[in-house]
Amino acid sequence: MSDLTILGIDTPTLGDRSYLVHDGEVAFVVDPQRDIDRVLELLEDHGVRLTHVFETHIHNDYVTGGLALARRTGAAYFVNEDDEVSFERTPIRDGQAVEVGRRMRVTALATPGHTYTHLSYALTDGADELEESVAVFSGGSLLYGATGRPDLLGEEHTHDLVRHQHASAHRLADLLPDEAGVFPTHGFGSFCSTNSGEASQSGSTESTIGQERKSNPVLTQDEETYVKELLAGLGAWPAYYAHMAPANAAGPSAPDLSLPAPADPDELRHRIEAGEWVVDLRNRTAFAAGHVRGTLNFGLDGGFATYLGWLISWGTPVTLLGETPEAVAEAQRELVRIGIDRPAAHATGGPKDWTTEELAGFATATFADLAQVRHHREVVVLDVRREEEHDAASIAGAVNVPLHELTRRVGEVPAGEVWVHCAGGYRASVAASVLDAAGRTLVAIDDSFDNAEKVGLPLVGPEA
Residue 92 predicted with pLDDT over 80: yes
pLDDT attached to residue 1: 64
The pTM assigned to this predicted structure is 0.94
CB 39 within 8 A of CB 29: yes
Q: Give the three-class secondary structure for 429.
A: helix
**Element (H or E) spanning 421, and its range?**
strand 418-421
Rama region for 10: left / alpha / beta (φ>0; ψ in -120 to 50; rest)? beta
Mean pLDDT of the chain: 96
**418-421, strands of its sheet edge to edge:** 363-365, 442-445, 418-421, 380-383, 399-400
Residue 199 predicted with pLDDT over 70: no
pLDDT category, 200, cuts 50, 70, 90?
A: very low
CB 146 within 8 A of CB 196: yes
Q: Give the three-class secondary structure for 121.
A: strand
- From CA 35, how far away is CA 232, in angstroms rounded? 35
Alpha carbon of residue 323 to chain centroid = 25
Average pLDDT over residues 338-352: 97
- From CA 262, how far away is CA 320, in angstroms rounded? 10
pLDDT category, 205, cuts 50, 70, 90?
A: confident
CB 363 within 8 A of CB 426: no
Write the burial class of residue 259 (CB in 10 Å: 0-12 exposed, 13-18 middle, 19+ buried). middle
Residue 204 predicted with pLDDT over 80: no
Q: Give the three-class secondary structure for 187.
A: coil
| 436 to 288, 382, 425, 449: CA distances (angstroms) | 10, 14, 16, 22
